[in-house]
Amino acid sequence: MHTREACVAADRLDPLASIKNQFDLPPGVIYLDGNSLGVLPRTAAARAADVIGKEWGAGLIRSWNTAGWFDLPARLGDKLAGLIGAGKGEVVITDTTSLNIFKALAAALRIQQQARPGRRVILSERDNFPTDLYMIQGMIDLLQQGYEMRLIDDELPLEQALDDSVAVVLLSHVNYRSGQMHDMRAVTALAHERGALTIWDLAHAAGAVPVDLQGAKADFAVGCTYKYLNGGPGAPAFIWVAPRHTDNFWQPLTGWWGHQRPFDMTVAYEPAGGIRRYLCGTQPIVSLSLVECGLDIAHAAGIDEVRKKSLALGDLFIALVEERCAGHPLTLATPREHALRGSHVSFRHPNGFEVMQALIARGVIGDYREPEVLRFGLTPLYLGHADVWDAVEVLKDVLDTRAWDKPEFKHRAAVT
């Protein structure tokens, strides 16, 4: 398929090709950053106008009931459930991924405090997304109970790190930088064998790869809706708890939305039964409502078709970069093997930051992550094979002409 014509032909046979029309994409852009911020569903503008004009403006306070605002976290959670191998009533969409990590970690530690007291290690990965590691550190510092964070890396593999001092394992299913994917089922089984509970961060997995939380016997999962699920900038995140754990403990962010009868206005906190106890405060209804637009498209596409195309686009991208950009100092940072790969592909380049700025200036939008990593999200819902071809041609030209070597591409803004 290493001609543009072959790519165009592949797009013609693509069962997902028409899904692209469900998004508003800016002209002149090849968007390879859906792993950071997903694109705009066509239905979102009208949905927002409706929520703002009719539900807020006309319905006012009545909309908590009549527009179903109060049930929105659970109703949208049910809609997400099928994409991650969860059941109805097991997921809520609420707060942020960071906060949901805090809830899951607190609950998991408390369950272990009862079941296996004395375990004081929270295991994660050196290369995990920093907020996961930061939330662990905040929790350890807060509790002052002698917990410590242990990080797996090349020197300390999981098998060795996972000893009987480990209470909880917190891993990202798909790594934010390399795109490497853990075998959720195998890792969970190993953790359980060693007496640890698992928390899976699905930020780069939900909507991108098939996830089977129940099948993997996972314990907790969190993730975000604004990447592959196209829920909108900073849209509320989600949390899933295995039903066998849900009612064992609540979680310490005990706001009134997690109360069994929030409008009784009682003095004593009493956690709601089920996943609602993972709610805390009043949710941002406009942003939350828009999550549904992206979820509907994900369901229409089907996660298996998405995965199939994602792998095809990833294979194509890797092959084309290695073929067309040969001779440039690019190193693949993502596993080639399908079972080990999510839906983005990363290459290292010594001038990665500048190269990415030059690409963005030409309308090929990926992103850059320290150190040296160029990330390219390959999102099957709105990218085709010819888009991949065209993006690599721009990359080739940027490298061949050293177009990246200009002062304006060296400036680092707050967010890159």
Does 415 bind a second copy (CB under 8 A)? Our answer is yes
**Binds a second copy by CB under 8 A, chosen from 1, 9, 151, 190:** 151
Residues 301-360 that bind a second copy (CB under 8 A): 360
Radius of gyration of the chain (CA): 22
Task: Give me the long-range contacts of 392-397 (CB less than 8 A, separation at least 24).
Answer: 392/317, 392/320, 392/321, 392/324, 392/325, 393/324, 394/30, 394/359, 394/362, 394/363, 394/364, 395/321, 395/324, 395/325, 395/355, 395/359, 395/364, 396/324, 396/325
Does 57 bind a second copy (CB under 8 A)? Our answer is yes
Does 193 bind a second copy (CB under 8 A)? Our answer is no
What one-character-per-residue DSSP string does 31-85 give?
A: E--TTTS--EETTHHHHHHIIIIIIIIIIGGGHHHHT-TTTHHHHHHHHHHTTTT
What one-character-per-residue DSSP string does 327-351 give?
A: TS--EE-S-SSGGGB-SEEEEE-TT
Q: Which is nearer to a second copy, 216 or 333 (CB)?
A: 333
Q: Which is nearer to a second copy, 99 or 229 (CB)?
A: 99
* Active site annotation includes 226: yes
Residues 354-393 that bind a second copy (CB under 8 A): 360, 365, 367, 369-370
Residues 228-257 that bind a second copy (CB under 8 A): 232-237, 250-257
How many residues touch a second copy (CB under 8 A)? 98
Site string for a second copy, 270-289 (x = CB under 8 A): ----------xxxxxxxxx-
Q: Which is nearer to a second copy, 256 or 328 (CB)?
A: 256
CB of 135 to a second copy, least distance (A): 6
* CA atoms of 388 and 378, how far apart (whole Å): 8
Annotated catalytic residue within 31, 375, 382, 387: 375
Count Cβ neighbours within 10 Å for each residue of 204-229 and write b for 16 or more, e otherwise.
bbbbbbebebbebbbbbbbbbbbbbb
Q: Which stretch binds a second copy (CB under 8 A): 2-10, 134-142, 165-173, 397-405?
A: 134-142
CB of 189 to a second copy, least distance (A): 27
* Active site annotation includes 375: yes
* Active site annotation includes 201: yes
Does 31 bind a second copy (CB under 8 A)? Our answer is yes
Annotated catalytic residue within 226, 228, 317, 382: 226
Element (H, E) at 286: helix 285-301
Q: Is the peptide bond before 371 cis (omega within 30 degrees of 0)?
A: yes
Q: Which is nearer to a second copy, 70 or 335 (CB)?
A: 70
**Binds a second copy by CB under 8 A, chosen from 9, 20, 71, 274:** 71
Q: Which residues are catalytic?
A: 129, 201, 226-227, 375
